Structure 1
């Protein structure tokens, strides 16, 4: 499947620059949304109906394979120039809708999720943009492969953060929180424990202006052109 995007932003490119005659494409690996009910496959491919989940649902899901009570949680720690350690535990994702997919199809994944079929998404960027248009109060989206770690605790060696902490009163310092946001960079939204690594999960996340407590079903037939149906 070939798709072309012409780059025409003259704020960055001079109209006379020969680079304007070029096009740049990114070769994307397809991702697969597994479904355990044929009706949901029919609903999407016949009417464009798609269910989006949320982090709160992941936390309370009784099935460990599909849920994770620590979703969205992480802890980052820093050392100042004196060797003192400061740790920050945080949680995000309360304003997000999520679609979990896999980059790998194999018998174990299909069995673990009781999948009867999948939505094969050829271009997840264009797919994500179409879905975004169908979500009320949505202002931003992000997609990426999950990172699998042995712990949700990680260290940052930011030299700038060291100087902020050295100055003291970091808890009330806006610079501290700005640097914290830069360092974490939505890391926790794609963080999974090592035991789930075989799932090879790829996430699409949409941010809402409102708190997200429940899953939703959207109608987005425009997304179908980027997808292919697979029945197992």
Structure 2
């Protein structure tokens, strides 16, 4: 079962759910003391698979599970899942980053020229895409992995499959090829 950020926002259980999933404040600072801030939401086009990097009985109780599986080869596991999904454009994976506030601050080594960041069609507005390009890949990638420190005991590891469409619900997939890279833990 793959899920979605939308599903995580809807869970009433505050361990499974997170009302601020995918939200972040982003600040880009230029060498000339100019800065731009945005508030963004990501994850609308992603299928999600979240797991933990620790095997702990307390965590199993928290999530109301009587058994779990360990992924012994995460890369090949992700490759097989990717093969079974339609319209995948990219895959992101990694450990969640635990912070007190979901704020990403990036410094670019050059002067931040507001004129260069203006939208080509609406010249009175800043282009978010141009700002992201100026800030670099860390701003884009980190937004998918931010979690409040309240969730740190979960030690979450995420796999995200970006698609070319909105992902509203979860998706049950049949992928027996991925099972060879896992083992059941009772």
**TM-score of Structure 1 vs Structure 2, range by shorter chain:** 0.7 to 0.9
* Pairwise CA distance, 1:136: 1.4
Aligned to 1:224: 179
1:89 pairs with one of 39, 57, 61: 39
Aligned to 2:134: 179
Aligned to 1:27: none
Q: Structure 1: which 5+ runs fail to align?
A: 1-50
* Pairwise CA distance, 1:86: 2.5
1:157 pairs with one of 92, 107, 127: 107
2:159 pairs with one of 181, 185, 204: 204
* Pairwise CA distance, 1:137: 1.5
Give the number of equivalent residue pairs: 180
TM-score (norm 2): 0.87
* Pairwise CA distance, 1:163: 2.6
Structure-2 separation of matches of 1:130 and 1:65: 28
What does the per-residue CA deviation read over 1:66-91, in whole Å, with 9 as the maximum and x for residues that have no partner? 11111111111234455444311111
Q: How does 1:26-175 map to 2 (within 5 A)?
A: 51-81=1-31, 83-160=33-110, 162-165=111-114, 169=118, 171-172=126-127, 175=130
Structure-2 separation of matches of 1:216 and 1:200: 24
Report 1 or 2 for greater relative contact order, CA contacts < 8 Å, sequence distance ≥ 6: 2
Structure-2 separation of matches of 1:141 and 1:168: 27
Q: 1:220 to 1:172 in 2, by over 3 A?
A: closer
TM-score (norm 1): 0.71
Q: 1:81 to 1:203 in 2, by over 3 A?
A: closer
Q: Which protein has the larger Cα radius of gyration, Structure 1 or Structure 2?
A: 1
SS at match of 2:8: helix
Q: 1:196 to 1:137 in 2, by over 3 A?
A: same
* Pairwise CA distance, 1:61: 1.1
Structure-1 separation of matches of 2:28 and 2:183: 46
* Pairwise CA distance, 1:181: 5.4
